[in-house]
């Protein structure tokens, strides 16, 4: 599973803003405050992509269960035919054993797909909020270009000085204040105090970050 770097995430966000605007957005034409917001949005986007990768990785397990399920049915049928030739009772027992195994595998596969669907439903609001922010930034970027913002604030652009009070802050543990790493298997784990944040808590944290943009 490949890790999306922050700079790559920024390029993807700028690309989406360009697509929405209908023309290529040149970063040097954007105000420092908007560039800062794009970086913060990219940070949330990066975490969201990683979470989705974790969620969809369960598809592999579901497909493995499907293979086991089919194999158990085949073994059950073939084995029961052979067992019936030896003894009727053994054949019945064989059917019951592999019937139970097949039933268990089928239910587990079904639960896995339900879990994937529920997890994707949990992160969907983040997707919608990110799309909303992209639309908002697209309008702001278009407005800045039309107003020739770059010419009016050449000094700020050339020096990279931001007039915005918004600061890029890493996600932090609510218990000890340490920076949180990328999610691990659909949860954050603080590397300092060991506090674990499940999927719903991650979505809440990322959502709160989006509200500050």
Render pLDDT for 151-168 as a digit per residue (tens, 0 to 9).
Answer: 554 444 444 444 444 444
Distance (Å, rounded) from C-alpha 211 to C-alpha 213? Answer: 6
Question: Is residue 40 pLDDT above 80, yes or no?
Answer: yes
Token duo for residue 164? 């915005």
Give me the pLDDT at residue 98, please.
Answer: 85
Number of domains in the chain: 1
* 111 is a domain residue: yes
Question: Quick check: is 92 in a domain?
Answer: yes
Q: What is the C-alpha to C-alpha distance for residues 187 and 203, in angstroms, rounded to an integer?
A: 10
**179, part of any domain:** no
Q: What is the mean pLDDT of residues 172-177?
A: 79
Rounded to whole angstroms, what are the CA distances from 191 to 88, 164, 188? 60, 31, 9
| Residue 155: per-residue pLDDT | 41
Specify the higher pLDDT residue, 100 or 82.
100
The pLDDT value recorded for residue 165 is 42
Q: With respect to residue 27, please indicate whether it lies within any of the assigned structural domains.
A: yes
Residue 205 lies in a domain: no
Let me know how many helices (H) and strands (E) the chain has, helices first.
7, 2
Q: Which domain holds residue 41?
A: 6-160
Residue 59 lies in a domain: yes
The pLDDT value recorded for residue 146 is 62
pTM of model > 0.85: no
Residue at 201 is within a domain: no
Provide the pLDDT for residue 188. Answer: 73
Q: What is the bridge-based pairing of β-strands 196-197 and 188-189?
A: antiparallel
211 in a domain, yes or no? no
Least confident range from 25-29, 69-73, 175-179, 181-185: namely 181-185
């Amino acid at each position: 599973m490949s890790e999306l770097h922050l700079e790559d995430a920024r390029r993807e966000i700028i690309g989406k803003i360009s697509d929405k605007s209908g023309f290529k957005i040149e970063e040097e034409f954007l105000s420092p405050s908007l560039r800062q917001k794009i970086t913060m949005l990219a940070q949330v986007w990066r975490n969201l992509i990683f979470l989705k990768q974790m969620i969809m990785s369960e598809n592999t397990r579901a497909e493995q269960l499907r293979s086991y399920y089919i194999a158990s049915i085949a073994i059950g049928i073939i084995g029961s035919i052979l067992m019936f030739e030896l003894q009727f009772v053994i054949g019945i027992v064989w059917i019951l054993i592999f019937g139970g195994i097949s039933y268990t595998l089928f239910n587990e596969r079904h639960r896995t797909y339900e879990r994937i669907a529920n997890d994707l439903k949990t992160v969907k609001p983040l997707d919608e909020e990110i799309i909303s922010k992209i639309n908002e930034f697209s309008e702001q970027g278009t407005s800045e270009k039309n107003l020739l913002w770059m010419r009016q604030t050449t000094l700020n652009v050339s020096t990279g000085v931001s007039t915005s009070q918004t600061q890029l802050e890493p996600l932090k543990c609510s218990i000890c204040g340490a920076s949180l790493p990328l999610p691990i298997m659909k949860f954050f784990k603080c590397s300092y105090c060991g506090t674990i944040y499940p999927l719903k808590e991650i979505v809440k944290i990322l959502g709160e970050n989006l509200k500050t943009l």
